[in-house]
Amino acid sequence: MAPVSAANIHFPSRTGSPARALGVRLAIALALVGLVTAVAYADRGGYRDLDGSVSLLDCLYYATVSITTTGYGDIVPVSDSARLLTTFVVTPLRVLFLILLVGTTLEFLASATRANLRRRVWRRKLHDHVVICGFGTKGRSALRSLTGTGTSLDQIVVIDERPEAIEIATRDGVTAVLGNAARRDVLVEAAAPEASALIVATDRDDTTVLVTLTARELAPNATITAAAREEDNVPLLRHSGADTVVTSASAAGRLLGLGTGSPEVVETLEDLLSSGSGIDLVAEVVGETEAGPIEQADRRCGGPVLMAYREGRSLRRGQELQEVKPGDTVVHVVCRDDAP
């Protein structure tokens, strides 16, 4: 496979597209030509043409050759007022036009060098980040969840093969890579081997499996969370290397079913899924001084402990979980509105 070019990395930008910037500069240049044309036509009696009279077309021609410093000399100012206008109006506008032209040229010549430099600096600083493979509805929701729980935007990289999705990602302040996340070179371009976690949120389960396999090969120690549309594909994704598999279709179906009889439960679950506000679920590792009865863990965590994970086993609150031990990972409820 051919390597991905640096142009496929898109950095966040608040200044708009290059085409828009070029269009603005072109409009300014045309406005300068129009202004010189108007000035010359307003004092057309002070100019002399080889054929005698000076028309509007002659003034436009004079503005073009004058502001671009071509200066054929067939139309010249002869009166004092025309020469003053040329000295104090046309000449400054000519200088401004040249600055605009030279500045645009230098910017386009330096853009490739600047992009390469920015890419090198970005890659050097990037480590322990999160890669989101697929920036559709699920990918955008994952981004909101990450930022809601404190992950900074510069520690998130998006991969998608749709230019419109890349544009949305960069507009949201995230660096994005245009390409197929199932390709090894695309994942390498997103620094997947140095990532601490990958979220696979593609639209098709077969693509999700391919991305997960490639990502696990490149990042054996990263946490991989994958979304499956069908429950039948969950075992396949786990065997492909996914640590966690979320079944989107069945989860939505269960919420729809709950909504018919227990809308309050659905509202609570929606609040839990909105990270960073309201009530959230948080996972913490228990230390030596924090172990003890479950009620003590509730007070220390600031919310009830629902589950604990110990030596690869999950323990539910109740008969299975009466106390927490050092090294346990506990999942508890926290209210973000009450957090300091």
The answer to pTM > 0.95 is no
pLDDT in tens, 204-262: 999 999 999 999 999 999 999 999 988 889 999 999 999 999 887 777 777 777 777 88
Q: Please determine, looking at this structure, whether the domain spanning 278-340 carries the CATH number 3.40.50.2300.
A: no
Residue/partner pairs of 63-70 with CB below 8 Å, 24 or more apart: 63/33, 63/34, 63/36, 63/37, 64/33, 66/36, 66/90, 66/94, 67/32, 67/33, 67/36, 67/93, 67/94, 67/97, 68/97, 69/94, 69/98
- For residue 322, how many C-alpha atoms fall within 13 Å in the half-sphere facing its CB? 1
Taking only the tens place, the pLDDT of each residue in 84-101 is 888 888 888 888 888 887
Q: What's the number of CA atoms in the CB half-sphere (13 Å) around residue 211?
A: 29
Query: Of 1.10.287.70, 1.10.10.350, 3.40.50.740, 3.30.110.40, which CATH number belongs to 6-125?
Result: 1.10.287.70
Q: Would you list the domain boundaries of the chain?
A: 6-125, 130-251, 278-340
Higher pLDDT, 253 or 154: 154
Q: Which CATH superfamily is domain 130-251 in?
A: NAD(P)-binding Rossmann-like Domain (3.40.50.720)
Q: Mention every residue, 6+ apart, whose C-beta is less than 8 A from residue 283.
A: 329, 330, 331
